[in-house]
Amino acid sequence: MTTTRPTPATAPRWAVRAAHIAALLTLPSGLWRLLLAAGQPAGYTAEGYAALGITGWGGAYVIGLSVVSELLALLTLGLVRPWGEVFPRRIPVLGGRPVPVTAAVVPAGLGAVALTVLWTPFVAWWSVPDTRMTPLGHTVVGFVYLPLVAWGPLLAAVAVSYYRRRRSAGREGA
């Protein structure tokens, strides 16, 4: 006897777009950090860049931070893609089973709150001068980090959409 599980509705178009935008928001700041790791001052004065200490392990840290940030941003896509609803078959034990709604929504919700708290103060970037940076560098850094202000709210919106979609599919199957 086979049982059929209800299939969640496809994600709304706005949620898919929001998830893709969220996944791309970390790229400008990540690319800027990679410039720093490659030895480019990227808007810092010579003294300011030297004070950062981005040599050796510092460079590895900056690269790692960029990679981890982008991977976390890409997880948002799981809230609008099938791999966020059913574990891929290649995963031992869990493969083929539905992803518990709370296993996706709780980390996404906590992440959205943390990102919002972390990045919202960045809106005031231009009101705080930084003597370690050139005026143009300060402006450019503001623009490469400003998109991160939207990461938390976009993640929250996509997580709410995921929750509503998955919960309604569960009720239809009951």
Non-local (6+) Cβ contacts of 77 within 8 A are 19, 20, 23, 84
Mean pLDDT of the chain: 90
Non-local (6+) Cβ contacts of 143 within 8 A are 28
- Structure confidence by residue, pLDDT tens digits, 103-121: 999 999 999 999 999 999 9
Per-domain residue ranges of the chain: 13-169
- Structure confidence by residue, pLDDT tens digits, 63-79: 999 999 999 999 999 99
